[in-house]
């Protein structure tokens, strides 16, 4: 599929998805969401990809939100379908077996903030701004913001952001646990690529097991979570990467992981 609103590149085990509507501040419309769904399917099917980076084209925005010109024309039934469409695709992002990193280079508002929340962690430019401003339009977040944000930063802080619609600077977002690290704008992409390259050197089976175990464990009690961890740990031993990793340690050399998920 040829994309008009996205760019997808893959190299050295790293896929980079760039939201590419800079004149519209990379706002999410139906076309972009459809292309994103296709791109995520391609990434999921590519066994060579071990980590995904998401970022926005231009210097101003990661994603400035959903396209208001499209939302303004929706009937209630169409709005429900649009929200379902966006939720499904962002859930598909969160459900990827591989780690996903958001490189937030500017506005991450509304749907843009919700997109970043579905990633495993966020690195941000000093110029980044985060927020769920839907309340200022007489709306609420519709792509998962009311559910993922409280799970990440706690209910009270999330409600404050949602009720006020106010923006957070990168520093404020880091202080409440929304952002992991902050970089100068010109250093952000290199910093994200550096950590992505580090992650890409790890075994894909263990990366996927770690992501799945954390995700499933957060949605259950500690005892059940520990059981999930035990099972995932044991299954890692069935993959050849575990033998390579332990052998490399004992032989005092760097491991070279080549195992696939279905090994």
Q: Active-site residues: which are they?
A: 114, 134
> How far is residue 28's CA from residue 111's CA, in Å, rounded to a whole number?
7
DSSP β-bridge partners for residue 28? 66
Q: Of all helices (H) and strands (E), which one includes residue 214?
A: helix 204-218
> How far is residue 188's CA from residue 44's CA, in Å, rounded to a whole number?
25
Tell me the backbone φ, ψ of residue 90, rounded to 5 degrees: -70, -35
Distances (CA, A) of 127 to 25, 62, 122, 183, 229: 14, 11, 14, 9, 38
Angle at 200 between CA 241 and CA 215, to 5 degrees: 80
Closest CA to 24 of 133, 107, 125: 107
Q: Of all helices (H) and strands (E), which one includes residue 182?
A: strand 181-183
Q: Residue 201 half-sphere exposure, CB side, CA atoms within 13 Å?
A: 9
Confirm if 102 and 116 have CB atoms less than 8 A apart: yes
Q: Of all helices (H) and strands (E), which one includes residue 107?
A: strand 107-109
Q: Are strands 168-169 and 61-63 parallel, antiparallel or unpaired?
A: unpaired
DSSP β-bridge partners for residue 129? 107, 169
Q: Of all helices (H) and strands (E), which one includes residue 247?
A: helix 240-250
């Amino acid at each position: 599929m040829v994309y008009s609103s996205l760019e997808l590149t893959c190299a050295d085990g790293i896929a980079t998805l760039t939201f590419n509507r800079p004149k519209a501040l990379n706002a999410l419309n139906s076309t972009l969401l459809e292309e994103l769904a296709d791109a995520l399917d391609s990434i999921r099917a590519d066994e060579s990809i071990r980590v995904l980076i998401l970022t926005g084209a231009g210097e101003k925005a990661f994603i400035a939100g959903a396209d208001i010109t499209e939302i303004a024309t929706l009937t209630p039934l169409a709005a429900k379908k649009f929200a379902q469409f966006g939720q499904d695709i962002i859930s598909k992002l969160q459900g990827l077996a591989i780690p996903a990193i958001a490189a937030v280079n500017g506005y991450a508002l509304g749907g843009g903030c919700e997109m970043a929340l579905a990633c495993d962690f966020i690195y941000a430019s000093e110029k980044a701004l985060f927020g769920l401003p839907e309340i200022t339009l007489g709306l609420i977040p519709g792509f998962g913001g009311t559910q993922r944000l409280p799970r990440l930063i706690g209910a009270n802080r999330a409600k404050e952001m949602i009720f006020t619609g106010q923006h957070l600077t990168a520093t404020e977002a880091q202080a409440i646990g929304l952002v992991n690290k902050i970089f100068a704008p010109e250093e952000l992409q290199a910093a994200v690529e550096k950590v992505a390259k580090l992650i890409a050197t790890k075994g894909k089976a263990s990366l996927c097991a770690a992501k799945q175990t954390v995700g499933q464990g957060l949605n259950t009690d500690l005892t059940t979570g520990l059981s999930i961890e035990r099972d995932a740990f044991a299954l890692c031993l069935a993959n050849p990467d575990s033998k390579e990793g332990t052998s490399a340690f004992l032989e005092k050399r760097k491991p070279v992981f080549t195992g696939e998920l279905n090994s």
